[in-house]
Structures are given as C-alpha cells and as structure tokens.
C-alpha cells in the first residue's frame, strides 16, 4: 500500500480512538470487490448505449415504466440480477459489521440494494433504496425473501394471491423514498455522530450528501474512501483514494493493534 495512504489510515485510526459513534455512507464502490459493477445509475452493463427498446436504462428501470410496461422493467431486472448472482459481501462489509460491535453506536446508510451489509452482520442498516432480494406485491400484502431470481421463468412474475404483477422492494427511478427509511434516517442523522465515512459513493443524491454536510457544519471529522473525486471531496477532512476492502481491512488491523 502507498505510504501516503498508510499515513492517512493512521490519522483515521487515531480519530477512531476517541469516538463512540460512527456513520458509514456507502455506495456501489463498496461492493466492487464482490464482483459487482459500479453502475451508472443501476446499469453499468449499459453505459454509453441504449437498451434493445431504444430507451435509456434509467427509463427501463423507472417506476412509470414498471406500471405501464412491467415486462420491460423485468427484462432488465433479470439481466442485472443474473450478473450479480452468486456474489456475496466482502471484507469491507465485514469490517463495518465488526466495528458495530466495537463502538456504542454505528449506523450504515447505504444506496446499495444487494443486501450485503446485513448479510455481513450489520444490524443498524438503512437500505435507503431497498433490497432486491425482497419481492412484494403492490396490490396486496404478499411478500417473499428470495436468494435470486432463477425461479422466475415468465415476466412479469405474478402474485400468487391476487394475480397482480410483483416487484422487488426497491426504489426505481422517479419513485419516492420509503417513509419508514426516511424517518430512521432523519432520527439518526439528527442525533449526530462522532465521525462520518463516505465509502464508494459519488454522493450524487442530496440526501446522501446531507450527513457529510452536517458533519462539516458541526466540525466532526469526515473520511472519504474512493479512488475517484466525488461531489463532497472538496469538503472532506481525510481523502483516501483507494479501494474499500483493502482500506477498511488496514483500518481494522491497525485499530486493533493500538487499542
């Protein structure tokens, strides 16, 4: 590892020694070491080109398209899910779960719909965009947790109760965030944290930027782990331009050495 990055990691660990609470804000980059693409929107598989129907992937995966042409939305959901199948959490997710057990209060705000944080053992997770492994019926109370979509043979899949089409419990383009997740988000962010991490996210959405801006305004330390420059990089206290899994593993090992 680059000596400059190691120096930054030591600074982070020294800050952690005096902390009781941590917020991790995570995006697609934290799952890159699991083999998942860091999507443009949700469609890195379709960067710089349109779908078979001649529309952008964001339109194919929009809530309005799901309502009017669910077969199109499901066509690309199946392609994306198949690309992600048989992947699992990586060392970055594991370290965050371990840190939850070390500190008094640790929360994860994730944009990812892969469910890896919970699978790795984190309990305090706000999946602000939902979880692709939970299927629901928008017309009745039917819901089901699934490992993958391999059982889906006909699209759109139909609810066994009311015969309406079902959907993943995720926020599609153009849809509102779930009120329950917003309430948890507002509750925890309003309490404040001793230190804030932004990991593998471009920080495009205002509600993802918000905790970092709050930290900046209240003089709380902020750390960004991302090889790229993002929307909040210019206000971050410690920038680590490296991968999430390697960096968090180094932070974990050093923290345990000196505490």
Per the annotation, the verdict on 129 as an active-site residue is: yes
- Report the Cα 144 to chain-centroid distance in Å: 21
Going from the C-alpha of 83 to that of each of 80, 164, 206, 232, the distances in angstroms are 5, 27, 29, 30
Place of tokens 């030591």: 10
- Write down the catalytic residue from 93, 129, 133, 151: 129
Name the pairing type of β-strands 195-199 and 21-26: parallel
Query: Is 44 in contact with 58 (CB distance < 8 Å)?
Result: no
Which of 1, 2, 5 has its CA nearest to residue 238? 5
Query: In 3D, which of 41, 3, 19, 21 has the Cα closest to residue 240?
Result: 3
Any idea of the CA torsion for 37, 42, 48, 52, to the nearest 10 degrees?
Answer: 110
Contact by Cβ (8 Å): 196, 223 = yes
Question: In which region does residue 157 sit, left (phi positive, over 0), alpha (psi from -120 to 50) or beta (all else)?
Answer: beta
Question: How big is the CA angle at 99 (ends 97 and 105), to the nearest 5 degrees?
Answer: 100
Distance between CA 228 and CA 234 in Å, rounded?
A: 12
CA 11 vs CA 15, 84, 110, 222, 254: distances in Å: 6, 35, 24, 11, 11
Active-site residue list: 129
């Amino acid at each position: 590892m680059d000596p400059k990055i190691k120096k930054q990691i030591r600074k982070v660990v020294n800050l952690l020694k005096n902390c009781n609470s941590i917020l991790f804000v995570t995006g697609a980059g934290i799952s890159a070491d699991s083999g998942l693409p860091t999507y443009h929107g949700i469609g890195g598989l379709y960067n710089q080109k349109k779908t078979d129907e001649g529309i952008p992937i964001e339109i194919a995966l929009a809530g309005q398209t799901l309502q009017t042409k669910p077969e199109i939305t499901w066509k690309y959901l199946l392609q994306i899910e198949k690309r992600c199948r048989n992947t699992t959490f990586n060392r970055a997710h594991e370290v965050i779960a371990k840190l939850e057990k070390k500190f008094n209060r640790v929360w994860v705000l994730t944009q990812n719909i892969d469910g890896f944080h919970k699978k790795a053992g984190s309990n305090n997770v706000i999946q602000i965009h939902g979880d692709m492994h939970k299927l629901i019926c928008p017309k009745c109370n039917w819901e089901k947790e699934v490992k993958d979509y391999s059982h889906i043979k006909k699209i759109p899949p139909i609810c066994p109760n009311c015969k309406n089409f079902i959907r993943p419990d995720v926020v599609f383009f153009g849809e509102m965030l779930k009120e329950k997740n917003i309430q948890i988000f507002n509750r925890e962010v309003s309490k404040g944290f001793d230190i804030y991490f932004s990991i593998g996210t471009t920080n495009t959405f205002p509600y993802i930027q918000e905790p970092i801006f709050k930290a900046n305004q209240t003089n709380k330390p902020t750390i960004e782990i991302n090889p790229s420059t993002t929307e909040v990089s210019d206000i971050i206290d410690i920038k680590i331009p490296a991968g999430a899994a390697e960096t968090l593993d180094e932070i974990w090992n050093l923290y345990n050495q000196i505490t």
